[in-house]
Amino acid sequence: MYVPRAKADATLLLEEPYGHFGAFTATGHAAVYLSRICADSPSVLRRCADNETGIVLSRYNKVSGYDWLAVPLIPYLYAVEESDDVPLFANPKLVAFLRNQYRKRHLETVAPDLPNGEPPTGNWTQLVGAAYDRTIYGFTIETTPQQDDDFIEHYNAEPNRSHFNLLAHNCADFSRGVINFYYPDTLHRNLIADVGITTPKQIARLLVKFSKRHPELESSSFVIPQIPGSMPRSTPVHGVVESVLKSKKYLLPVAVLHPVVTGFLAAAYVGDGRFDPAKHAMVLESGRDLERPLLANERKNYESELHSLLAETHAPKRGSWADLKSAEPEFDPEGRPMLRLRLGETFVNVGVARGNIVNTTAPPKVTEGLLTARLQTELHRGDPKASGSDVLNDWELLRQITPSAKPLN
């Protein structure tokens, strides 16, 4: 997997909100990826070996009493250890399986089995498989080996005990502290647009501004799209005031009862709260370099080709993940994820990673439906969901299953 590590070695990860908590507050999550720092355990840092790709650090609430924990990049994003094993789609059953398998191999010290042998409940699931739950934006800034060594020494020496607080010691506060260790006083709270609460979007905006003021430091921005599938889609990340202004359930009561306050909030947002994390972002997916997102005309052309193919093969206009809802997740002999699906009186194996999707016993129509649904997600309008290479690679997999599919131009 490509990681931006030649000079830009600290990456602030701005992660979209999801689920019930995301409906309550749209501020999302923040973490930091350090490409030259690895870990002997989730709480002990060290320098990386040549073949290692670094760790993601973040603050978590109620995970074995730790304030921060470190997880290697690919498992943090996908709950697998190799980029070739990343699933092309995800449903809740597959995600739970992959997370638990990784936990049993690497995270037993922070998330042990329950007394009955079942997986534990709680927030440990946030440690692995983040890209199944949400779209993630990355903002990199160059660091030096000496800064990394100083960081390791400092964070290994400091007490690592939880003091999580949503208002004063949240995940964005922790990420702010990490970046400020490298570049002091760069990131701070916004007293107006975020009413003094540190938010992931605020510190991402400030890091982008800092990068523009220091062109001598190599920097970049990218997006890691949420894995297609039947997992609920994440929603756009907002600041505190922005959340109020863009939510009817909050804005309407405030506007009726306190019109002056509403005007103040609007002025605060316009003056110091606007920031689009997708602007100029490249696309980063497992196993590839950073690439530009699909252009509008490319998306339309590819979508037209897909519609023509579906009409020619009499396939459903919308690919579906529903046929795989009852399938049980397993690993194939090479350790790649697959689904064991019952069809009538027999069972078939459905590959779900690039390395096995066309080499298992699933009927072609099942695999075709999976790839079609993935392509339709990638070609859907909106923020970057795929690069041109992603779509072309998925189309080539579809061509192996459906010979009538013509090469994309």
- What SS3 state is found at 346? strand
pLDDT at 5: 45
pLDDT value for 194: 59
Residue 287 confidence (pLDDT): 55
Q: Shortest CA distance to 198 belongs to which of 12, 11, 10, 20?
A: 12
Question: pTM (2 decimals)?
Answer: 0.89
* pLDDT score at 323: 78
Yes or no: say if 405 and 309 are a contact pair by the CB < 8 Å rule: yes
Burial class (CB in 10 A: 0-12, 13-18, 19+), 7: middle
Residues 42, 110: contact at Cβ < 8 Å?
Answer: yes
How many separate helices (H) and strands (E) can be counted in the chain?
13, 12
Beta strand 55-59 pairing with 44-47: unpaired
Give the integer Cα–Cα distance in Å for 254 and 59.
32
Contacts of 66 (CB under 8 A, 6+ apart): 42, 43, 60, 110, 160, 161, 162
At 407 the pLDDT is 84
In the numeric block, the tokens 């989730």 are attached to: 42
C-beta of residue 313 within 8 angstroms of C-beta of residue 319 = no
- Please count the CA atoms within 13 angstroms of the CA of 276 that sit on its side-chain side: 7
Query: How confident is the prediction along the chain (409 residues), in pLDDT tens digits per residue?
Result: 445 444 458 999 999 999 765 444 688 999 999 999 999 999 999 999 988 989 999 999 989 999 999 999 999 999 999 988 999 999 999 999 999 999 999 999 999 999 998 999 999 999 999 999 999 999 999 999 999 999 999 999 999 998 888 777 899 999 999 999 999 999 987 766 556 788 999 999 999 999 999 999 999 999 999 999 999 999 988 866 565 555 544 444 544 444 544 444 445 445 555 688 988 899 987 656 788 888 889 999 999 999 998 888 777 766 678 878 899 999 999 999 999 999 888 999 999 999 899 988 888 888 999 999 999 999 988 877 888 888 999 999 999 988 888 888 7
Under DSSP, is residue 88 helix (H, G, I), strand (E, B) or coil?
coil
Instruction: Name the phi and psi angles at 374, rounded to 5.
Output: -65, -45
* Beta strands at 29-34 and 37-41: parallel, antiparallel or unpaired: unpaired
Amino acid at 158: E
**Residue with token string 């078939």:** 348
H/E stretch holding 298 reads: helix 296-313
Query: Cα separation of 57 and 60, whole Å?
Result: 10
Alpha carbon distance 352, 225 (integer Å) = 17
Distance from C-alpha of 357 to C-alpha of 332, rounded to nearest angstrom: 11
Give the 3-state secondary structure of residue 137: strand
Write the CA distances from 143 to 52, 112, 147, 181, 284, integer angstroms.
17, 35, 7, 11, 21
Q: What is the 3-state secondary structure (H, E, C) of 16-82?
A: CCCHHHHHHCCCCEEEEEECCEEEEECCEEEECCCCCCCEEEEECCCCCCCCEEEEEHHHHHHCCCC
Predicted pLDDT of residue 26:
80
Q: For residue 193, which of 264, 107, 248 has the smallest C-alpha distance?
A: 264
> Distance between CA 346 and CA 301 in Å, rounded?
39
Q: What does the DSSP 8-state code read for residue 338?
A: E
